[in-house]
Chains A and B, each alone.
Chain A
Amino acid sequence: MNSVVGVLDYGCGNLHSVVRACAKFSGKIEIVEKFQQNSDFTHVVLPGVGSYSNAMKEIRNRGLDQLIHEKLSIGVPLLGICVGMQVLTTEGRENGFSSGLDLIGGSTEMLSLTKSDKSSRIPNMGWNAVMPETNRNENQMFKGLENGFDAYFAHSFEVKLNDRTDISAFSEFDGRNLVSAVKRDHVYGVQFHPEKSGESGLQVLKNFLGITTNS
């Protein structure tokens, strides 16, 4: 496929593993450190580790928010990974409040444990089953994957969305549902790390890179 993938670098991600994983399916990958005009990306990936507020600060300082808005306006699909998915929401609540990209209505909040059996831990680190919402308008992200495929998670925050129809997959945490993937128009997000989730994760990336602009 003739995709050109822009992987956004805001200084705190381990973006190289994302780049290497995307390189399996795309011949052209560019690491983007600041806003640039006339880029010809067919797909944009926003990786992430670290904190919401730091990520947003760097994204804004580098003008990457502008790039994201510009690309989305011409129908280029965007994939946010982990913190990259969290910053798609309206606001982050960690030591106060920071505003996000607001591409998907909702907030990002600290995980909390309510069960006393300590079956889950914070950070939520390790493999967990992902259950895609199958009734959503032909979500291409999970094509070819079984319901309940396992993916690797490493996070302490979770997203709470205003509109349930923006949720594209759930996982289980502390005996309840955790939003593990989101989708609104051509904005996609996954809480897990597809670049670290073995062959299933690679399939998710392959699926994303197979989504064509404006579809």
Chain B
Amino acid sequence: MGEQKWRVDPEKPRVEFTFMSMKRLIARLDIKGQNVIKGVQMDGQRIVGDPAELASKYYEAGIDEIVYLDTVASLYGRENMTAIVEQVAQCIFVPLTVGGGIRSLDDARLMLRSGADKVAMNSAAVSNPRLLQEVSSTFGSQCAVLSVEAKRVENDWEVFTNNGRDRTGFFVGKWIESAQELGVGEVLITSIDRDGTKRGLDLSLKKLARSSTDLPVIGSGGVGSVTDFYRALHEADLDGVCVGAALHSGTVDVNQIRNELADQGIEMRKVS
């Protein structure tokens, strides 16, 4: 019965018949105030559009998942985010991850009640790692996402907070290992230096994250082409890739990415 899973196309016979999990195409929407914004290296942000409109557009186009990251993450930002999440959750029926400003169990609960399926934690997790444990034990591992934003520092990768402004003294490999022990169910790894550049994901960072955990790992920061997806999913064996700037600007589109990756033998969700 397992064979029914594979799309049989006589023109393009599949060589491999080993089981592979499907890879995920994720739209990443950075939020500031009422708008989706996009900067380069988390700086110089410009307005891209309306959160609900863009989410609907990408949902209709067949995106597998959506990630919202509040770049301001102030108290105002949090209330604003609740309203946005509620609005977005009305019109999309794929998983929604929300991050930025999740500082407590109550913040996490608020986002989940508003319609998020997962919460991503970075700054608050660094200053209070127990938060990861609280969120995962209360709501389940599947909704606790560790968001790691990293920069290369000498020969290692250091974790940064506050949109790449603050050093933490934490290093990527060890931090991901500890977070897994604290119960998170997924890791979102972003290269700050590649963010918004469309120059390709930093594969050395992605491979480091991959080798640090058995959990699903999602890569972000720098996607500019289908080749970037392929390398992250195949060479670095990530479970999903986030795309922001390249999707907003129309450099790539959801269908094109899905079809080209499927042609290259990456197992993708079938969207009818």
- Residues of chain A whose beta carbon lies under 8 Å from any beta carbon of chain B: 12, 14, 16-17, 20-21, 49-51, 83, 117-123, 125-129, 131, 146-150, 152, 154-156, 170, 172, 174-175, 177, 193, 195-202
Which chain B positions have C-beta within 8 A of A155?
142
Which chain B positions have C-beta within 8 A of A148?
4-5, 270
Closest 5 CB pairs of A and B: A154-B142, A127-B269, A127-B22, A150-B269, A123-B185
Q: Which of B38-46, B88-96, B223-231 contacts A (4 or more CB under 8 A)?
A: B88-96
How many angstroms from the CA of A207 to the CA of B4 in the assembled complex? 23
B139 is contacted by which of A21, A50, A202 (Cβ under 8 Å)?
A50
Which chain A positions have C-beta within 8 A of B112?
14
- Contacting pair B142 A125 (CB below 8 A): yes
- Contacting pair B93 A119 (CB below 8 A): no
Overall SS of chain B's interface: loop
- Contacting pair B113 A128 (CB below 8 A): no
Known: A119-B21, A127-B64, A156-B141. 10 other contacts (CB 8 A): A12-B138, A14-B117, A17-B89, A117-B18, A119-B18, A123-B215, A125-B185, A177-B2, A196-B93, A196-B95
A120 is contacted by which of B21, B23, B116, B271 (Cβ under 8 Å)?
B21
Which chain A positions have C-beta within 8 A of B270?
129, 148-150
B265 adjacent to chain A (CB < 8 Å): no
A-B interface pairs (CB < 8 A), number: 126
The tally of residues in B whose CB lies under 8 Å from a CB in A reads 42
How many angstroms from the CA of A196 to the CA of B239 in the assembled complex? 18
Given A17-B89, A123-B185, A154-B117, CB of A51 within 8 Å of CB of B21: no
- Contacting pair A121 B216 (CB below 8 A): yes
B214 adjacent to chain A (CB < 8 Å): yes
- Residues of chain B whose beta carbon lies under 8 Å from any beta carbon of chain A: 1-2, 4-5, 18-24, 59, 62, 64, 89-90, 93-95, 112-117, 138-143, 185-186, 214-216, 239-240, 269-272
Given A147-B4, A154-B95, A197-B93, CB of A123 within 8 Å of CB of B141: yes
How many angstroms from the CA of A129 to the CA of B271 in the assembled complex? 11
Which chain B positions have C-beta within 8 A of A129?
4-5, 270
- Contacting pair A126 B115 (CB below 8 A): no
Given A17-B117, A154-B117, A198-B94, CB of A123 within 8 Å of CB of B142: yes
Chain B nearest CB: distance from A147 CB in Å?
Answer: 6
How many angstroms from the CA of A129 to the CA of B268 in the assembled complex? 10
How many angstroms from the CA of A199 to the CA of B141 in the assembled complex? 26
- Contacting pair B114 A51 (CB below 8 A): no
Which chain A positions have C-beta within 8 A of B24?
126-127
- Contacting pair B19 A120 (CB below 8 A): yes
Which chain B positions have C-beta within 8 A of A156?
140-142, 185
- Contacting pair B142 A122 (CB below 8 A): no
- Contacting pair A118 B214 (CB below 8 A): yes
How many angstroms from the CA of A121 to the CA of B185 in the assembled complex? 10
- Contacting pair A131 B21 (CB below 8 A): no
How many angstroms from the CA of A86 to the CA of B234 in the assembled complex? 33
In the complex, which residue of chain B has the Cβ closest to the Cβ of A195?
Answer: B93
How many angstroms from the CA of A20 to the CA of B24 in the assembled complex? 24
- Contacting pair B117 A177 (CB below 8 A): no
How many angstroms from the CA of A12 to the CA of B114 in the assembled complex? 13
Chain A nearest CB: distance from B214 CB in Å?
Answer: 6
A/B interface sample: 27 pairs, CB < 8 A = A14-B112, A14-B143, A16-B114, A17-B115, A17-B117, A49-B140, A123-B141, A123-B216, A126-B22, A126-B64, A128-B21, A147-B4, A148-B270, A149-B270, A154-B142, A155-B142, A156-B140, A156-B141, A172-B5, A177-B1, A196-B93, A196-B117, A198-B59, A198-B62, A198-B94, A198-B271, A200-B272
- Contacting pair A50 B21 (CB below 8 A): no
In the complex, which residue of chain B has the Cβ closest to the Cβ of A149?
Answer: B270
Which chain B positions have C-beta within 8 A of A149?
270
Given A16-B114, A152-B94, CB of A50 within 8 Å of CB of B138: yes
Given A16-B89, A150-B269, CB of A122 within 8 Å of CB of B5: no
- Contacting pair A125 B18 (CB below 8 A): no
How many angstroms from the CA of A174 to the CA of B22 in the assembled complex? 12
In the complex, which residue of chain B has the Cβ closest to the Cβ of A150?
Answer: B269
How many angstroms from the CA of A103 to the CA of B186 in the assembled complex? 32
- Contacting pair B142 A49 (CB below 8 A): yes
Which chain B positions have C-beta within 8 A of A118?
214
- Contacting pair B239 A12 (CB below 8 A): no
Which chain A positions have C-beta within 8 A of B21?
119-121, 126, 128
